[in-house]
Structure 1
Amino acid sequence: MATLLHLDSSVFPGPASASRAVTDAFRTTWEEQHPQGTVIYRDLSLNPVPHITADAHSASFADPSEHTPEQAAAFAERVGFIEELERADAVLIGAPMYNYSIPSTLKAWLDNVVLYGRTAGETPSAKGTPVTVVASRGGSYAPGTPRAGYEYVQNYLEAVLKDMLALDLEFIVPELTMAPHNPAMAELVPLFEASRAKALQEAADKARTLADQLTSKAA
């Protein structure tokens, strides 16, 4: 049965998080389609992965037989994260925008799984795996908006997930998530509600489509 790798990185729990609400809609539909499937879940806010250290970085360029004990331990942990990615038939990532970029916890996970000669380079080991990123943000950074030039979430993740790891990337973008909480944005609440409803529907539709594709592929 299919395996889904699900990562959340919002600092807010449950329904308080716009990105978690949408990733939950995706996962719920996915599990309905794959009741016997496997979900590998990492809450990167609750249980952060280690940031890259000198030992973890240098070990990737050294022969394993020459690793120090510290390098061996750090590299083994990286390989564990990489193997989760490689086992996945689909990947789901909650990536809220914080100060124009992704949470540092998600950056730490990416730094661990990007490994030249394995997941990146000429023959990326997870090439073609579909990845759905829920890129929520408090305002709007769509093309043509005043802050479009400050959109570093989708640009960055496209460079890493698509260009480096060769994953099949799609975004779901719930916008204006601060509107219900910021009086200055009160007039934008209807737009937020429409964006949220659209994102929830897109998540369910995408999960269903991927489930169907994987089922057909396995048949």
Structure 2
Amino acid sequence: MVTLLHIDSSVLPGEASSSRAVAAAFLEAWREQHPQGRVIHRDLAAAPVPHITAAGWSAGQTPAAERTPEQAAAFGERVRLIEELERADAVLIGAPMHNFSVPSTLKAWLDNVLLPGRTTGESPSTQGTPVTVIASRGGSYAPGTPREGFEFVRNYLEAVLERTLGMDLDFIVPELTMAPRNPAMAELIPLYEASRRRAFEEAARKAKELAERLAA
């Protein structure tokens, strides 16, 4: 049975969130290919994981027999998240831009699953796992745009997911999502609509291609 781990982090519900809406299109195409597959959904906005504590961090550097009860409990929560990630055949992450970076809830999840000697290091346990990120944003931060230097989502996730966890990373980027709601961006609505259509098309296509690849 193929398992997809789906991580949502947008504070907005349903269709109000571009990352959730595009992820839903991805899931629909995925389920068509894997009707018997398993989807594990972790909504970090509805049920945030604890921010990593001194006990949770230090436990990873301490032999199991020497951990305090506090360390053992905190580390157990980290291991639960790590094993969930390790068991996934593919991962889908909704990562909307919040104030130029990822939501703090997503950062907390990443802090928990990054464990030297296991998920990071010379042979990460997540090496090669495909991960698709829906990186929605209210404006445009593409190369050549005025706010290019304010983009801290893609470069951060490339560093963490691809270069640290060793995952096979792909992005879908619906942008200008504030255009319909911000009168000052009204002239950008056609570009927003084109970006949204492209994101939904990419989600359906990439989900199908990934599902077929894993089934081969």
TM-score (norm 2): 0.99
* Aligned counterpart, 1:33: 33
C-alpha displacement of 1:107: 0.1
Task: Please list the CA deviations of residues 155-192 of structure 1 after superposition, one character each: whole Å capped at 9, or x if unmatched.
Answer: 00000000100000011000000000000000111110
C-alpha displacement of 1:41: 0.7
* Aligned counterpart, 2:168: 168
* Aligned counterpart, 2:158: 158
Q: What one-letter code is carried by the residue in structure 2 that aligns with 1:143?
A: P
C-alpha displacement of 1:31: 1.0
* Aligned counterpart, 2:88: 88
C-alpha displacement of 1:12: 0.2
Local SS of the residue matching 1:145: coil
C-alpha displacement of 1:32: 1.3
Gapped regions of structure 2 (runs ≥ 5):
none
* Aligned counterpart, 1:18: 18
Identity of aligned residues (%): 71
In 2, Cα distance between the equivalents of 1:38 and 1:139?
34
* Aligned counterpart, 2:137: 137
Gapped regions of structure 1 (runs ≥ 5):
none
Local SS of the residue matching 1:102: coil
In 2, Cα distance between the equivalents of 1:5 and 1:77?
17
Superposition RMSD on alpha carbons, in Å? 0.5
Q: What one-letter code is carried by the residue in structure 1 that aligns with 2:179?
A: A
Q: What one-letter code is carried by the residue in structure 2 that aligns with 1:213?
A: R
Local SS of the residue matching 2:163: helix
In 1, Cα distance between the equivalents of 2:29 and 2:114?
29
C-alpha displacement of 1:50: 0.5
Local SS of the residue matching 1:107: helix
C-alpha displacement of 1:120: 0.2
Q: What one-letter code is carried by the residue in structure 2 that aligns with 1:193?
A: E
Local SS of the residue matching 1:203: helix
In 2, Cα distance between the equivalents of 1:66 and 1:32?
48
In 2, Cα distance between the equivalents of 1:200 and 1:161?
23
* Aligned counterpart, 2:7: 7
Q: What one-letter code is carried by the residue in structure 1 that aligns with 2:56?
A: A
Alignment of 1:64-213 (within 5 A): 64-213=64-213
* Segments ≥4 residues shifted beyond 3 Å: none
